[in-house]
Structure 1
Amino acid sequence: AKKNSIDLFDEVILKKLNGITQYENERSFALDFDNGYSLVFKMHANRSNVLLSKEGKVIEIFRNQFKADLELSLQELHRAIDWSYAHFTQNIGNLKQTYFTFGKEIWRYLEENGCDENDTTKTWKMIQEVILLLETPTFYILNRKGQIKFSLLPDGDRIKSLSDPIEAINEFFYLATSTDTLQREKAAIQKKLMAIIDSSEGYISKNLKKLDEITIDTPYKIWADVLMANMHQVEKGKKKITLFDFDGKEITLKLKPDLNAQQNAQIFYRKAKNQEIEINKLSESIQQKQSELDAAKVQLTQLDAIATLTDFKQQFKESKIKVSKKEEPLPFHQMEYMGYKIWIGKNAVNNDLLTLKYAHKDDLWLHAKDVAGSHVVIKNQSGKTIPKEVIERAAELAAYNSKRKTESLCPVAYTQKKFVRKRKGDLPGTVVVEREQVIMVTPKL
């Protein structure tokens, strides 16, 4: 055994298993051995424990903080339920404790379907119907408030109903994972689109105000025309002059005292020309931002209507939605696929940097088999299994960034980064892989 391991419950090591005890209406079971010992597994959430018993008496426990388990009578783990009508009527006001194996989902189903303790006949009938559903089950895959649920009760928008439990759970897993992927992918695109919308609206609002300021507050051409129309009133050497514009309103103009009226007017005309160029450019940029804003709003509406991962991939997977990044760039190539970050080494030295410094032990490491090429890393997300599609995409990148990039099929090794090490004296980019799996892919950028 390894240094960090220890044998527990020596009394049952290598002993013959005689049978299994399933405690009635209890989340516990026991493995019974031929020497009179049993291992009892108490599946009680954060109070779970493993007990070693000898002829029904607990003599050792795994989690020693639960000392009360040493005094446990194993026969008490059997919890009978009286399903008779007489017992039902006697406990009509205490049904949740009486039928303690009914979980929150069952009681919610009963309540939402009109179960009322004040109506004894109806409540009894509904409970019998639920028992029948549980004992002769049809397995339902439901959409409940946007979430995919697996249930023995027809409680929600029905997607599928199946009679075979293995087929049902496999179908549920596929739908649940694809739905989860779709929701994450949609959320990522939605975030980018909202960033574009917020940024565009802010830009348009800011620059419309600027456009108004330019065209209304500083009408250089009007000032120049007024000055030319009143040349006879303008004497050289003045720093400012008050004149009437073409609407009869007084305006005060600042002048250069060393220039005459015509020369000062030429300055205003030049500023008017530059102002017109600025107005045109500003108008074009506002129009462009408005087009981006309109497109983002259309895409957001389309995104809301998408219900399947296939439709999403067809419509958005090649979408070039971009938002500015404020993060410092990492020293290797980066991309994102289905919400997972993929890092790609640039050269041998950079491969070492990626694998040995930046990659975490639980990240997935990939490399084209038996040829020189880039190290590729898929960043792990805590509590999640990296989807097969992400592994395939990263493998395609590893194959493309290798000496096998022109081959029709390329074997790519992948493993957790913790199984990749570098020996002293190895050349840059050279590593030893202690454990690996291989996937065949077509090299693709």
Structure 2
Amino acid sequence: MHNNYYFLRQLSHALTPLLQGTVVSECFSQNKDELIIRFETRTDPFFIKASLDPAFSCLSFPREFNRARKNSVDLFEKLIGHYVTGIRQFTNERSFAILFTEDITLLFKMHGNRCNIILFEKNIPIELFRNNIAGDATLDMDTLDRTIDWSYEAFLQKRSNLQALYFTFGKIIWKYLAAKKFETLSPEQQWQEIQAVKQQLENPTYFIAQADSVYLSLVRYGNIVGEFGEPLKAINDFFYTYTHQAAFIREKASAMATLRNKIQGSEQYYQKTFDKLAEVENDQHYKIWADLIMANMHQIKPGMDKIMLPDFYHENNLIEVKLKKDISPQKNAEAYYRKAKNQHIEIQRLQQSLETKEKEIARLKQQLQIIEGADELKSLRKTISREGLADEKEKQSAPLPFHEFEHSGFRIWVGRNAQSNDILTFKYGFKEDLWLHAKDVAGSHVLIKYQSGKNFPKDVIERAAQLAAYNSKRKTETLCPVVVTPKKFVRKRKGDPAGAVVVEREEVILVEPMK
């Protein structure tokens, strides 16, 4: 009810003796939704701070206000040097005006998300604080006063729509009446309740209360956290309480959202790593092939590229074992034992990653529980700082140096620019990955990420080559030659510019550039 007619009436009444005869010395703004007016009195200056954010518009009256040296702008310069002659409260309206010498008037129109401050000269609007409310540019102050028929006859006639009849009550009053079972009362009892509420509003006590949010009330409704006998004290404490509560809710929600996103990301990473570990653990064919070759070396003839052998690990079922025909059976077995050893190393790495990620998830969940339990701004900020989350909302994760595409289950990474190309190839690339680049022109480095035990399919290579061609100087050509090579054959010489590399062994394919 801080912008309710009944409160503003009490507020304007309290402001009259404080502002009468004072002179405006400054009127300025330090952000787009705030106006500060400084009045010079015989003793200390008096300030009006109008916060007109559409989400929360409220007046407050700070004892001091230090203007910033930068990022402030003078407004309503016509007011400077004018004396206050009085204050006008509009009847049954959420507006009041400060009257100045030379027929200057400053209107405070406190209409929720359409709040505005308008400067009049001889009753004609000459300047608006919020210029986006076009109707205020032609506002006639004499039309603001409104009437209410408080007769019993009008009450009986409008009983089905009393909120329209008593439009000055506002939402809190009707909630207050609803809590008193107003709808179940007889007409006479309802009339008595209306008169009792009207009496309270005309001679109010001011309450700061809390339900879903913090609000100012002129009746005792909700969880009361403050009680006042003066409107200026009430509105100042309300403004402080509301803004701190809003900051608490905003910062708590931000910290919780950050932690939940981290938990979700960590859990997704954990699941992918778990699935990968299961895949590698279940894939023991390298060791089996090596053992079968060693057990059947006498059957393997020179020049063979594959052989069917009984698998003594699986009831001697015949399985096909691939061979490199230009090396001996023993060398083939050694190669498979080496790959099996690498698989074992990968299993250990994946298990370590899972253990680390489990601890991280547990830590994040503990942090989230602590933040959820915070119930006050000061303690919340201490908790956020202690848990190392103080700067989370300012941190912006650096973008990856590549765009990712997927084709037939393979990941294709395309560098963003020359600097990103180097990072992609030499930081994110592994020797088993396949590297591609449009031949003899500037363009993006492209990697096809290796998958254990799988060859690179032809259609995946062609798709990656199309992307390499499209992200190069040859993107408009019908066909583009693209270099394809394992990443292990790509190196960078000292002093080469960003993106420049040397390819020691390459194959060239022709593709159509395609996005």
Q: Distance in 1 between matches of 2:84 and 2:277?
A: 88
Select which of 269, 273, 276 maps to 1:203.
Answer: 269
Is contact 1:42–1:50 with CA below 8 Å preserved after alignment? no
Q: Secondary structure at the match of 1:256?
A: coil
Is contact 1:139–1:152 with CA below 8 Å preserved after alignment? yes
Q: Distance in 1 between matches of 2:101 and 2:342?
A: 99
Rate the CA distance shift 1:203–1:111 in 2: closer, same or farther, 3 A: same
Deviation string 1:31-81 (CA, Å, 9 cap, x unpaired) is: 67899x68584737458755566xxxx6x55479779866x8x5x765554
Deviation string 1:301-321 (CA, Å, 9 cap, x unpaired) is: 222221112322332213335
Aligned to 1:282: 350
Q: Shift of the alpha carbon at 1:284?
A: 0.6
Aligned to 2:18: none
Is contact 1:214–1:275 with CA below 8 Å preserved after alignment? yes
Q: Distance in 1 between matches of 2:101 and 2:177?
A: 45
Aligned to 2:172: 105
- Equivalent position amino acid for 2:344 in 1: E
Is contact 1:241–1:253 with CA below 8 Å preserved after alignment? yes
Rate the CA distance shift 1:244–1:124 in 2: closer, same or farther, 3 A: farther
Q: Distance in 1 between matches of 2:198 and 2:348?
A: 75
Aligned to 1:317: 385
Aligned to 2:336: 268
Is contact 1:92–1:117 with CA below 8 Å preserved after alignment? no
Structure 1 residue runs of 5 or longer lacking an equivalent are: 329-445
Q: Secondary structure at the match of 2:301?
A: coil
Q: Shift of the alpha carbon at 1:151?
A: 1.9
Select which of 190, 198, 202 maps to 1:131.
Answer: 198
Deviation string 1:175-223 (CA, Å, 9 cap, x unpaired) is: 3232222223223322332332232123222222322332223432233
Select which of 208, 213, 220 maps to 1:141.
Answer: 208
Q: Distance in 2 between matches of 1:68 and 1:315?
A: 51
Rate the CA distance shift 1:258–1:185 in 2: closer, same or farther, 3 A: same
TM-score, with structure 2 as normaliser: 0.51
Aligned to 2:323: 255
- Equivalent position amino acid for 1:138 in 2: T
TM-score, with structure 1 as normaliser: 0.58
Q: Distance in 1 between matches of 2:278 and 2:284?
A: 10
Matches within 5 A, 1:119-198: 119-145=186-212, 147-198=213-264
Q: Shift of the alpha carbon at 1:276?
A: 0.9
Rate the CA distance shift 1:66–1:228 in 2: closer, same or farther, 3 A: closer
Deviation string 1:245-277 (CA, Å, 9 cap, x unpaired) is: 212133211122244433322222222112111
Q: Distance in 2 between matches of 1:164 and 1:66?
A: 31
- Equivalent position amino acid for 2:250 in 1: R
Q: Shift of the alpha carbon at 1:109?
A: 3.5
Select which of 169, 181, 189 maps to 1:114.
Answer: 181
Is contact 1:26–1:79 with CA below 8 Å preserved after alignment? yes
Q: Distance in 1 between matches of 2:210 and 2:84?
A: 46
1:92 matched to 2:164: no
Rate the CA distance shift 1:164–1:68 in 2: closer, same or farther, 3 A: closer
Q: Distance in 2 between matches of 1:264 and 1:32?
A: 99
Q: How many residues align?
A: 313
Matches within 5 A, 1:211-250: 211-245=277-311, 246-248=313-315, 249-250=317-318
Q: Distance in 1 between matches of 2:297 and 2:98?
A: 111
Q: Shift of the alpha carbon at 1:82?
A: 4.7
- Equivalent position amino acid for 2:257 in 1: K
Greater alpha carbon shift after TM alignment, 42-51 vs 260-269? 42-51
Rate the CA distance shift 1:324–1:268 in 2: closer, same or farther, 3 A: farther
Greater alpha carbon shift after TM alignment, 167-176 vs 306-315? 167-176
Q: Distance in 2 between matches of 1:255 and 1:7?
A: 90
**Seq. identity, %:** 35
Q: Secondary structure at the match of 1:244?
A: strand
Q: Secondary structure at the match of 1:320?
A: coil
Select which of 348, 355, 370 maps to 1:302.
Answer: 370
Q: Distance in 1 between matches of 2:273 and 2:174?
A: 58
Rate the CA distance shift 1:165–1:52 in 2: closer, same or farther, 3 A: closer
Q: Distance in 2 between matches of 1:16 and 1:201?
A: 64
Q: Distance in 2 between matches of 1:271 and 1:33?
A: 90
Is contact 1:238–1:256 with CA below 8 Å preserved after alignment? yes
Deviation string 1:309-365 (CA, Å, 9 cap, x unpaired) is: 23223322133356771269xxxxxxxxxxxxxxxxxxxxxxxxxxxxxxxxxxxxx
Is contact 2:367–2:387 with CA below 8 Å preserved after alignment? no
- Equivalent position amino acid for 1:285 in 2: S
Is contact 2:106–2:117 with CA below 8 Å preserved after alignment? no
Q: Distance in 2 between matches of 1:176 and 1:28?
A: 22
Q: Distance in 2 between matches of 1:158 and 1:240?
A: 84
Q: Secondary structure at the match of 2:224?
A: strand
Q: Secondary structure at the match of 1:155?
A: coil
Greater alpha carbon shift after TM alignment, 233-242 vs 22-31? 22-31
Aligned to 2:455: none
Q: Shift of the alpha carbon at 1:280?
A: 0.5
Rate the CA distance shift 1:311–1:42 in 2: closer, same or farther, 3 A: closer
Q: Secondary structure at the match of 2:386?
A: coil
Is contact 2:306–2:322 with CA below 8 Å preserved after alignment? yes
Structure 2 residue runs of 5 or longer lacking an equivalent are: 1-73, 128-133, 401-515
Rate the CA distance shift 1:324–1:263 in 2: closer, same or farther, 3 A: farther
Give the aligned CA root-mean-square deviation in angstroms. Answer: 4.0
